[in-house]
Amino acid sequence: MIPLVVRARAVWEELAGVPVACAPPPGGVRVVVSPRSGLCPAGWVGAVALGGSALVTAPDDAAAGLVRAALEGLPVEAVVDGVSVREVLPVARVLGPAALAYVSPSGFRPVEADAVRVERLAAGHPNVRDLERAAGPEDAGEAALDEITSPVFAVRDGHGRLVAAAGFRTWPGQVAHVGVLTAPQARGHGLARVTGSAAVAHALAAGLLPQWRARPPASRRVAAALGFEELGAQFSIEIA
């Protein structure tokens, strides 16, 4: 079986749009020019640290030179740390860092829905939009259920309202990027684990690599409960 970190690195190298020869060496930081990088918004600098090495993309040669001089002397973990990066680069805005976690079929710990019924809905179902409005734009944006390509795995309350939902978007490299959302009044009852488990099981059955990218500690705890391993982090910066 291919190790999780190897599969994860291959995915992010593909998203970065760089040849394999530009991949970072073990324990090192590699800065490359990639105007169409999928690691960050257009014109930004994107960084992904996985398994003890970091790949950083810059939009042009000038930015790459600045970033290379600042970051290549840092420890790998500092490249995706907002405080450390601000000390060596003029930063206007940041996104992240977000932890990157993955799970294998053997490591997956499914959660059975004993007391609740998990319903399967089509992506884009109007009730999911209702749940997003109830959760608020920040949490809805973190879950990104409006972008999923899988079915929606959902739970309703006693009044028929959707209170938790999960699904995934298929990424390059056969990755299933998982998103989970729970209504504020329904949190703390394990519904994120139940719906997330159903989405992950569906991804694994399709031969995909489930990926959980999260900043909130609560979301990271859900991933850990399902057997996900945190292998690194993603970070994006806009140079001032």
Confidence bin at 2 (pLDDT 50/70/90): low
Within-domain flag for 112:
no
Residues 181 and 209 in one domain: yes
H or E element at residue 200: helix 191-205
Residues 63 and 130 in one domain: no
Within-domain flag for 104:
no
Residues 28 and 58 in one domain: yes
User: What's the rounded Cα separation, in Å, for the pair 152 and 231?
Assistant: 26
Whether 46 and 63 have beta carbons less than 8 Å apart is answered as: no
Residues 124 and 226 in one domain: yes
CATH classification at residue 216: 3.40.630.30
State phi, psi for 226 to the nearest 5 degrees. -90, 0
Look-up of token digits 């799970």? 103
Residues 136 and 198 in one domain: yes
Residues 51 and 130 in one domain: no
What is residue 158's predicted lDDT score, i.e. its pLDDT?
Answer: 86
What is the value of pTM for the model shown? 0.91
What is residue 216's predicted lDDT score, i.e. its pLDDT?
Answer: 85
Domains in the chain, number: 2
**Sequence letter at residue 39:** L
**Which of 63, 19, 7 minimizes the C-alpha distance to 40?**
63
Within-domain flag for 146:
yes
Residues 123 and 95 in one domain: no
User: What's the rounded Cα separation, in Å, for the pair 57 and 38?
Assistant: 9
Residues 138 and 220 in one domain: yes
Within-domain flag for 210:
yes
What is residue 21's predicted lDDT score, i.e. its pLDDT?
Answer: 62
Residues 59 and 22 in one domain: yes
What is residue 73's predicted lDDT score, i.e. its pLDDT?
Answer: 78
State phi, psi for 43 to the nearest 5 degrees. 85, -5
Look-up of token digits 């990926």? 211
Task: Please enumerate in sequence order all residues whose Cβ is within 8 A of that of 198, keeping only pairs 6 or more positions apart, or say none.
Answer: 113, 118, 120, 153, 166
Within-domain flag for 83:
yes
Within-domain flag for 57:
yes
Residues 144 and 63 in one domain: no
Residues 69 and 154 in one domain: no
Within-domain flag for 113:
no
The pLDDT tens digits of the residues spanning 22-75 come to 666 777 899 999 999 999 999 999 999 998 899 999 999 999 999 999 987 789
Residues 72 and 155 in one domain: no
Domain containing 72 equals 4-99+234-239
Whether 193 and 75 have beta carbons less than 8 Å apart is answered as: no
Within-domain flag for 223:
yes
The pLDDT tens digits of the residues spanning 108-144 come to 999 987 778 999 999 889 999 999 999 999 999 889 9
